[in-house]
Homo-oligomer: A and B are copies of this chain.
């Protein structure tokens, strides 16, 4: 499960990101409207959390532009005050739900889950690469019908690699995707997780899926 968080208050994004990562979500962040719009359009997310007040392009406008482009990803809007006006505008413009600050993280999460349930009522939505199958909604990973059980971090890393099949992903990218703060990231944790992922995903299989890109990072691909 992968969500995009478009919000410029660093302290708030830290909390939200951490919370979702603990629940096994992958979280991408954008700190201004421009970046947010770009990511929402060209990457694929299960939901978007969108602040109303943003640098460069405001939330309402982002929402409108996305809907105009037929992008139907569920959007939950955040706003600073209970302003009926904003709320009406937001929903008119294509947002699916609405939450006013300040809020409890638990409530945000409950609402996101509600949106996701609605979106995925009985749809299957798995990513398949060769005989590896990963279901980000149910958080189930299988290789050739055999269920592989992964810890939250392992899952998060594998999900990132899977979504960028064939593309080398750097350790820095993995860190930023999986941990909440990264700027003291000169350790080899990523390498260690890759090692355990290999044990669980590739060991005993002819075809290895996790590949080292020397000097760069790792990638998931058939060869």
Contacts and interface: CB of A to CB of B under 8 A. Distances in A.
Given A110-B35, A166-B140, A166-B147, A24 B182 contact: no
B149 A213 contact: yes
Contacts of A18: 172, 186
Interface in A171-211: 171-173, 176, 182-186
Q: How many copies does the complex hold?
A: 2
Contact of A35 (B11, B15, B107, B183): B107
Contact of A102 (B10, B102, B140): B10
A162 interface: no
Q: Which of A14, A149, A184, A221: most chain B CB closer than 10 A?
A: A149
B172 A22 contact: yes
How many chain A residues sit at the interface, stated as a range, is 35 or more
Nearest to A149: B213
A157 to B, nearest CB: 14
B216 A24 contact: yes
Contacts of A104: 29, 31, 176, 182
Given A29-B104, A104-B182, A139 B167 contact: yes
A121 interface: no
Contacts of A11: 183-184
A183 to B, nearest CB: 6
6 contacts: A18-B172, A22-B171, A24-B216, A106-B176, A147-B166, A152-B215
